[in-house]
Amino acid sequence: MKPLGPIPAGYDAIGGVLSVGGRPVTDWAEQAGDTPLFLYSADLIRQRAAQLRAAMPARLALHYAVKANPFTPLLSLMNGLVDGFDIASGGELEILRGAGIDLAKVSFAGPGKRDRELEAAIAAGVTLNLESEAEARRAFAIGERLGRTPRLAIRVNPDFDLKGSGMKMGGGAKPFGIDAARVPALVREVAASGAEWRGFHIFAGSQALDGAAIAETQGQALDLAARLAEESGVALPHCNLGGGLGIPYFPGDVPLDLALVGERLGARFESLPDSLAQTDFCIELGRYLVGEAGVYIARVIDRKESHGEIFLVTDGGLHHQLAASGNFGTVVRRNYPSAIATRFGAPVEEEASIVGCLCTPLDKLADKGGFPRADVGDLIAVFLAGAYGASASPATFLGQGPAREMLV
């Protein structure tokens, strides 16, 4: 029997059925009309935002990384909880526009921005995090053609990375950002162009659970920002310190010590050099804000036995939860936290694998986990589905189509 990841705090049962938002998931499935279904808890998102505000220094603004979950009702909720939004495509810009978000609070990072994306961002007053000198010059030309002043920051490829990060975004040769040594010259070029200089974006890594490592990286980012500002000779109005705050997905993972991160960042803010004295700072978080607030619900369609192994075949699968299947950046597949939602909290009775409806052996949501017995019609739950779930999975594979989504 293989261990399952830890179910996050905040989930209870009503009448033996997993509850989200104060109601059994069976009620939500009935209201949605069908399964599979993503449920996002508004209360858990609010609680996480409040925890961050309490732990972090007051000077630090909080931004939401839209790529984690671009569900429009969730974005509307987030609009009252965070200070800004970070996007990675022109498509996400349009999603935010449709959600009524003030686009002056938005920044746009990501390599390979097409001219039409640069044009849309400049016209909307979005801050562009420049990924190369060539992108900067295209932005200058587009701004001149539109008669608009581009709002430009520089994404810095730092000369360090985030230790223990599940996904390294900086340090060494990377397609992201501009190598630190080349940044001062580009800062001066941006300032001389007449563009509005917005500052630095320094993102070293993602999904780290070691608070001391995150604090060390944030300190390195502050040191780098000060050095680059001094070398450029141009005041630094704003600095995005990136994210990196992880959540425990797998057996043995220990939750991040958020208080430690906040205390150490607060101490650094009290001793900033003159070059950063007037700088505004933010962190950019996605999964840490919404990951634990989401649950993926699927229905058991068939219960099968093959060579002594039990398979619970569901109407869901990797086309909605690619990461939980182990096919989205995982080197060694391990089980996400999962449960039989209609027997939540019941004792383990058997070893079973939860699989999807796709015709591929990759379509496995839980491998030989310990569960109470489940039969046809029961609902299963995969937790940590609030980030990089619905929008990061191949929903159209085999013509299956997207899952339903609800903010509850």
List pLDDT tens digits, range 285-321.
999 999 999 999 999 999 999 999 999 999 999 999 9
Q: Do the domain assignments include residue 350?
A: yes
Which pLDDT belongs to residue 165?
47
Structural domain contains residue 182? yes
Q: Is residue 217 part of a domain?
A: yes
Query: Per-residue confidence at 204, pLDDT binned at 50, 70, 90?
Result: confident
329-383 confidence digits (pLDDT tens) = 665 789 999 999 999 999 999 999 999 999 999 999 999 999 999 999 999 999 9
* Strand-pair category, 60-65 with 84-87: parallel
CATH number at residue 134: 3.20.20.10
Q: Are residues 357 and 301 in the same domain?
A: yes
- pLDDT at position 169 is 53
| Residues 138 and 270 reside in one and the same domain | yes
Residue 163 has pLDDT above 70, yes or no: no
Number of domains in the chain: 2
Examine the fold and report which residue of 230, 251, 285 is the final residue of a domain before the chain moves on.
Answer: 285
Tokens of 41: 């808890």
Asked, for residue 248, whether it belongs to a domain, the answer is yes
Residues 339 and 403 in one domain: yes
- Mean local confidence (pLDDT), 141-148: 98
Paired sense of beta strands 37-40 and 106-108, if any: unpaired
Contact 386, 292 (CB under 8 A): yes
Q: What is the pLDDT of residue 172?
A: 61
72 within domain boundaries = no
What does the block give as tokens for 258? 């958020």
323 in any annotated domain: yes
Cα–Cα dist 174/107, whole Å? 20
Cβ-Cβ contacts under 8 Å for 161 (sequence gap 6 or more): 168, 170, 171, 172, 204, 205, 217
Query: Scanning the structure block, which residue is given the tokens 């502050």?
Result: 222
In a domain, 316, yes or no: yes
CATH number of residue 388's parent domain: 2.40.37.10
Report the distance separating Cα 114 and Cα 340, nearest Å.
Answer: 45
Judgement on whether residues 258 and 152 belong to the same structural domain of the protein: yes
- Work out the number of other CB atoms within 10 angstroms of the CB of residue 66: 26
Q: What is the pLDDT of residues 385-401, one digit of tens each?
A: 999 999 999 999 999 99
What is the Cα–Cα distance from 292 to 294, expressed in whole angstroms? 6
Residue 120 domain-assigned (yes or no): yes
pLDDT at 151: 98
Token readout for 347 is: 């004792």
pLDDT of 81 strictly over 60: yes
Average pLDDT, the chain: 94
| pLDDT bracket for residue 207 (50, 70, 90) | confident
Q: What are the φ/ψ torsions at residue 368 (nearest 5 degrees)?
A: 55, 50
Give the pLDDT score at 174. Answer: 63
Is residue 110's pLDDT more than 70? yes
Confidence band of 168 (pLDDT split at 50, 70, 90): very low
Whether 151 and 203 map to the same domain: the answer is: yes
Range of the domain at 155: 109-285
Angle, alpha carbons 298-320-351 (nearest 5°): 50
Distance CA 120, CA 197 (A): 18
Same domain, 238 and 354: no
Distance CA 73, CA 222 (A): 35
> What CA–CA distance (Å, rounded) separates 19 from 2?
25
